[in-house]
Amino acid sequence: MFITFEGIEGSGKSTQINLLHKALEKVHFDVEITREPGWGAIGNLIRKIILENPDLDLEPLAELSLFCADRAQHVKDFIRPMLNQGKIVLCDRFYDSTIAYQGFGRELNPEFVKQTAINSALGLCPNTTFLFDISVNTALSRIVERPGRNRIDDESFDFHSRVKSAYLEIARNSSNRVHLISGEEDIEAVHEQIKEILSKNYSIFSRLRKK
């Protein structure tokens, strides 16, 4: 089972992925957490290039290529092997992020970015995606308060607005896979909503309701 977590910066997805990980382990599921970019040696190198160089004037097409290179290696070396072992994989961002950020935030050709992003997943599609929706104002206020800000965090209001709009479009077009959840709500309430969605849609998660 492959579950991805998406949303603009500050939407709370990283908090929720950790809560779900603990909840699944508590009822004896074999679970792995991962993220994009930043898994493994190649991923960490790409993450440093893309996110941790605030003065780097990176060509948007080069940025797209780096994200997709990271994903292809990530799928090949980690995600698919873990899934083949029967594990549940929780991933903080996947190809929906590339479509939203590079296709709309960076204003590259959306259809080209979509096909490139999906191809970089080597045929792998998430079983379920949780998309956390918050206002851009809320997102920016949360970003200011957290340590370790990166190049994407520091983008303009308009940039983050374009990304938010793109995510909502993805949710509309992929409603069977993408579950839209308000990230403005209480952390525990959001967590309970995630567990309820999983238990309703997949019988293997029914015991989440009891915990």
pTM, whole model, 2 decimals?
Answer: 0.93
Nearest alpha carbon to residue 68 among 34, 112, 105, 13:
112
Give all strands of the β-sheet with 31-35 in edge-to-edge order: 31-35, 88-92, 2-7, 128-133, 178-182
d(CA 204, CA 185) in angstroms, rounded, equals 27
Task: Name the pairing type of β-strands 31-35 and 2-7.
Answer: unpaired
What is the four-CA torsion angle of 142, 148, 152, 153, rounded to 10 degrees? 20
What is the crossing angle of helices 40-51 and 60-74, to 10°?
160
List C-alpha distances in Å: 110 to 16, 96, 179: 28, 12, 22
Q: What tens-digit pLDDT sequence spans the chain (211 residues)?
A: 999 999 998 899 999 999 999 999 999 999 999 999 888 888 888 888 877 776 778 899 999 999 999 999 999 999 999 999 999 999 999 999 999 999 999 999 999 999 999 999 999 999 999 999 999 999 888 877 776 666 777 788 999 999 999 999 999 999 999 999 999 999 999 999 999 999 999 988 888 876 4
Domains of the chain: 2-210 (3.40.50.300)
Question: Cβ(24)–Cβ(128) under 8 Å?
Answer: no
Q: How far is CA 205 from CA 76, 83, 84, 89, 92, in A?
A: 27, 16, 19, 14, 20
Task: Determine the 3-state secondary structure of 175 from DSSP.
Answer: coil
**How far is Cα 31 from Cα 194, in angstroms, rounded to an integer?**
16
Cα–Cα distance for residue pair 18/23, rounded to 1 Å: 9
